[in-house]
Each structure stands twice: as C-alpha cells, then as structure tokens.
Homo-oligomer: A and B are copies of this chain.
C-alpha cells in the first residue's frame, strides 16, 4: 500500500565550526530565529539554555513543528534538527544559512520521513493553516 508521511525531519551535524559562535546563547538564538524566518516558518515560541562551562541547547517551536540545536563548542560541533509538517517552509534554507554563520568546515545531513500513514487516509491537513493561540 502506498504510504505518505505526515512530517519530514532533517538531521544535521556541523563540524569545524566557530567555537565562539557556538557558545554564545544570544547569537545562537538570533541565528535560529533568522533561519526560521528565512525558511518561511511561522514562529510560535522559543527557549534557549546556556550550559556551564560551555554549550547551548535551544528549541524554536514553529507552526510547522520544531527546530532544535545542541552545540559543543569544545568540539566545534553542533547538531540541528528541523522537523516540518508543511511544504510551505524550506528546511534546506535553514541548513545552509546556519552552515555559513557557523563557518562549518564539514556538514553531515540526512532526511527522514516521519509519521508514515496509508495514502488513502490522508486528507488536506496542513498544520500551518490551523495555528491558533495556545
């Protein structure tokens, strides 16, 4: 039976990055927010956390699902997840913008389909048009 996915998930690792950028919470937040906007995602809310002595964890909840980042400045490495349930946003824009801003020397990226359902049961749902205040 043909299957359709309810979401797609881009998993990215950045290597050889600028360690200072990866350890600056405000900068990381600004970059993720700008990346989301450039991809045409609709931002709902965000949370970023600075670890001691180093490293940032952050999530941007978007109407299309979420972005998440974890950084290890001591290894010049960052992991980014882009989970989207709408074709209205373009995840690769986020991936490429962050690569440039992090000055990444190497990128590893895979895309997975999430929430596979039989094609016959899928309607015209699109999370982006159903957003309401929480």
Chain A interface residues (CB < 8 Å from chain B):
6-7, 9, 11, 13, 25, 44-45, 47-55, 57-59, 61, 65-66, 68, 70, 72, 74-75, 77-79, 81, 83, 85, 108, 112, 114-117, 121-123, 125, 127, 130-132, 134
Report whether B6 and A77 are in contact in the complex, using a CB–CB cutoff of 8 Å.
Answer: yes
Residues of A contacting B: mostly? strand
Report whether A70 and B47 are in contact in the complex, using a CB–CB cutoff of 8 Å.
Answer: no
| A45 CB contacts on chain B under 8 angstroms | 47, 49
Known: A7-B70, A74-B125, A77-B115. 5 other contacts (CB 8 A): A6-B77, A55-B127, A59-B68, A68-B83, A75-B115
